[in-house]
Amino acid sequence: MGSFRTKLEVAVQDAAGARVAKQAGADRVELAAALALTGGLTPTLPVVKAAVATGIDVHVLIRCRPGGFIYTDEEIAIMCQEITDCVDAGCAGVVCGAASPDGTVNIAAMGAMVAAARGLDVTVHRVIDTVDDRLAAIDAVADIGVARILTSAGAAGACDDPQAMAEMVARANRHGIGIQAGGSIRPATVGALKDTGICAVHASCSGQGPDTGPTGPGGGSVSTTITDAAAVRELAEIVHSW
């Protein structure tokens, strides 16, 4: 990809999505399972390997279960092992986070996950939008060596409060950390982020998937999603023009 000032990261669920994102102009992908159902979980190792084989930079979401981000020691150990496995599988980075009951980022857990990444890029996921003080959280994670932070700046959508996003960028810039905007981003609204100084835009660019047949009793929804090439292409053209 070209050396664009602002990059586009597309959230995908499989190698097919990674391939579409690459061909349509995305700079990298965040790979996760069950995006539509849970907001994303750690994908299986074969899926990680297949996505890596497409040739685009793959950043793997590390989230061992649905729900909030306050984890037990056992869950943290599981996620550290997931990170180790993904690094060994050739991913370019991981996306992770953990919170403490007192409304702050769990720095001990995050430090362990950064260590497990063995020098690869670590993005703090939207746990940052659940803490009491996002700016203080930026200062805290700066000490453990993260590359960037994915955030909506605390709003329902990342384009809803450009001023808050710019404030997060200014604080992160003190530490050499990038701010990546994510949350309900569409081509029609992404322009609100142009002058905030973000390093990247994160979007799902999803569309309705094919009919895969019935799921059977208790099998859940039959709907599926795919990565929409046209949506990726449109966002890439906008973001890369900044």
pLDDT at 65: 98
> How confident is the model at residue 211, as a pLDDT?
81
Does residue 171 fall inside a structural domain?
yes
Number of domains in the chain: 1
118 lies in a domain?
Answer: yes
Q: Quick: pLDDT tens for 14-25.
A: 999 999 999 999
Q: Is residue 2 part of a domain?
A: no
Question: What is the structure's pLDDT at 103?
Answer: 98
Q: pLDDT tens-digit profile of 2-51?
A: 567 999 999 999 999 999 999 999 999 999 999 988 999 999 999 999 99
Flag whether 47 is in a domain: yes
The verdict on residue 166 lying in a domain is: yes
Is residue 1 a part of any domain in this protein? no
In the chain, % of residues over pLDDT 90? 90
Identify whether 32 is part of a domain. yes
Stated pTM of the model = 0.95
Dist. CA 87–CA 118, nearest whole Å: 8
CATH code, domain with 82: 3.20.20.380
Residue 149 lies in a domain: yes
* Boundaries of domain holding 203: 7-239
Residue-wise pLDDT tens digits, 181-222 = 999 999 999 999 999 999 999 999 998 888 878 877 877 776
Check pLDDT > 50 for residue 1.
Answer: no
